[in-house]
Amino acid sequence: MAALLLRHVGRHCLRAHFSPQLCIRNWSLPMAMSICHRGTGIALSAGVSLFGMSALLLPGNFESYLELVKSLCLGPALIHTAKFALVFPLMYHTWNGIRHLMWDLGKGLKIPQLYQSGVAVLVLTVLSSMGLAAM
Amino acid sequence: MAVLWRLSALCSAQGSRALLLQTPVFRPAHISAFLQDRPTPDWCGVQHIHLSLSHHSGSKTACLHWTSERVVSVLLLGRLLAAYLNPCSAMDYSLAATLTLHGHWGFEQVVTMFIGTFGRKLPRQGFWQFQF
């Protein structure tokens, strides 16, 4: 099911510059998950750097910004969604990272196991993100 | 504080980059796989298989780098859990150090994949990424 969806996406890719890399091949779940792993890694690293830089450069401390956000009186749904969006890349990278470490031990390298562990990682990501965002 | 750690990690990366100059194009496939085949009655346990593609002395450094990357990843997992359960300033420092190192090495892997190691171009590495 996921493979069909990804194949559909790949076929309709219109960017001529990337089409040799993106459009002529059938996208697979392990490939997309591997790209997402690197993408989330870069995003998280940039986030940590930004957090550190803003701690150095911006006035006030973390508590004052937390108070600022609280004083905006945003709806709980919006806050929950924002927390989910923040924690989702972290959880995805963590669970997929554990999958990578399992591969480094030599376990789960057969193709069906790849797909099974991939789906397991996605499910775990969604569940743990929802759990952490609800805290 | 996190920024200072990041800067210091960047400085130490220059030193590690000098070491990596001796390594060949590919990071050697130092894969030690625990293979447990179909268990027969007289199978006595696990089998180690070491595959090392490089013959340079620099391959030891690259092997060490590969292993260190995995060790830091596992340490970071433990740190995240421990930092939530037991917040203290020592935990903050070790988390900052581990996170910075892991992020730096990870970013280096991505850059190597698309741009290549020092002085070498690996334009097709992106191709192999998509293969997996």
Residues of B in contact with A106 (CB under 8 A): 31-35
Nearest by CB to B110, which of A25, A38, A105? A38
CA separation, residue A56 to residues A64, B3, B101 (Å)? 15, 8, 20
> In this structure, what CATH number is given to the domain that contains residue B83?
1.20.1300.10
- How remote is the C-alpha of B89 from its chain's centroid? 27
**Closest CB to A31 among B77, B106, B130:** B130
Mean pLDDT, chain B, rounded, equals: 66
Per-position pLDDT tens, chain A of length 135: 777 776 666 555 555 556 666 666 777 888 888 989 999 999 999 999 999 899 888 887 888 888 888 888 778 888 889 999 999 999 999 999 999 999 999 888 888 888 999 999 999 999 999 999 888
Distances in Å between the Cα of A13 and the Cα atoms of A2, A4, A6, A7 are: 17, 15, 11, 10
| Within-domain flag for B72 | yes
Output phi, psi for B58, to 5 deg. -65, -15
User: B106 vs A41: CB contact, 8 Å cut-off?
Assistant: yes
> Does the CA dihedral A12-A36-A54-B102 come out positive or negative?
negative
Whole-number pLDDT of residue B31: 45
Kindly give the interhelix angle for A111-133 and A76-104, rounded to the nearest 10 degrees: 150
Q: What is the pLDDT at residue B38? A: 47
CB count within 10 Å of CB B21 equals 11
Coil, helix or strand at residue A56:
helix
Number of domains composing chain B = 1
Query: Is B93 among the domain residues?
Result: yes
Q: Known binder of ligand: residue A93?
A: yes
Tell whether B110 is covered by a domain: yes
Residue with the bigger pLDDT between A65 and B128: it is A65
- Of the candidates B2, B32, B80, the beta carbon closest to that of A52 is on B2
Cross-strand bridge partners of residue B50: B32
Report residue B33 as tokens.
Answer: 């796989």
Q: Give the Cα separation of A7 and A12 in Å (integer).
A: 9
User: What residue numbers bound the domain in which B106 lies?
Assistant: 63-118
Does residue B101 form part of some domain? yes
Does the pTM surpass 0.80? The reply is no
**Distance from B57 to chain A by nearest Cα, in Å?**
23
The answer to whether residue B36 sits within a structural domain is no
Distance CA(B26)–CA(B132), nearest Å, equals 17
Chain B residue with CA closest to A24: the answer is: B130
The helix, strand and coil proportions of chain A, stated in percent and rounded to the nearest 5, come to 80, 0, 20
Is the pLDDT at B66 greater than 60? The verdict is yes
Residue B97 forms part of a structural domain: yes
Q: For residue A58, which phi and psi values (nearest 5 degrees)?
A: -85, 150
Which residue has better confidence, B30 or B68? B68
Q: Which of residues A6 and B16 earns the better pLDDT score?
A: A6
**At B31, which helix (H) or strand (E)?**
strand B31-35
pLDDT at site B29: 42
Return the axis-axis angle of helices B89-115 and B2-20, rounded to nearest 10°: 40
To the nearest whole angstrom, how far is the Cα of B56 from the nearest Cα of chain A? Answer: 23
B73: in domain: yes
Q: Which two tokens stand for residue A18?
A: 């990337």
Let me know if residue B7 belongs to a domain: no
Kindly tell me if the per-residue pLDDT of B22 is higher than 80. Answer: no
Residues of A with CB under 8 A from a CB of B: 21, 25, 30-31, 34-35, 38, 41-42, 44-45, 48-49, 51-53, 55-56, 94, 97-98, 101, 104-107
* Residues A35, A37, A43, A49, Cα dihedral to 10°: -130
Name the pLDDT band for B126 (thresholds 50, 70, 90).
low
ipTM of the complex: 0.76
